[in-house]
Amino acid sequence: MKKVLFGFCALVLAFSCQKKVANEPVAEELSDPGVTMRQCASHEVLQEQIAADPARRQRMQEIEQFTETAIRTGRLVNGQIVIPVVVNVVYNTTAQNLSAAQIQSQIDVLNEDFTNTNADATKTPAEFAGVQSSFGIRFELAAINRKYSNKRSWGTDDAVKRSSRGGIDPTSPTTHLNMWVCNLSNGLLGYAQFPGGSTATDGVVVLFSAFGSRNKAAGTYVANYNLGRTATHEVGHWMNLRHIWGDATCGNDFVGDTPQHNASNGGCPTYPHKSTCAGTPNEMTMNYMDYTYDACMYMFTEGQKSRALAVFASGGPRASFAQ
Q: Which residues are known catalytic residues?
A: 234
Nearest of 266, 253, 268, 308 to residue 115 by alpha carbon: 308
Q: What are phi and psi of 247, to 5 degrees?
A: 55, 35
Amino acid letter, 304: Q
**Beta carbons of 105 and 213 less than 8 angstroms apart:** yes
Strand partners, 192: 204
Separation of alpha carbons 233 and 24, rounded Å: 23
Nearest of 196, 107, 195, 200 to residue 160 by alpha carbon: 200
DSSP per position, 48-73: HHHHH-THHHHHHHHHHHHHHHHHHH
DSSP 76: P
Nearest of 231, 194, 195, 192 to residue 211 by alpha carbon: 231
* Chain mean position to CA 95: 23
The b-or-e profile of 89-105 (16+ CB within 10 A means b, else e) is bbbbeeebebeeebbbb
Separation of alpha carbons 291 and 171, rounded Å: 30
| Sign of the alpha-carbon dihedral angle for 153, 167, 97, 29 | positive
Separation of alpha carbons 291 and 285, rounded Å: 8
CA triplet 202, 302, 188: central angle to 5 degrees? Answer: 40
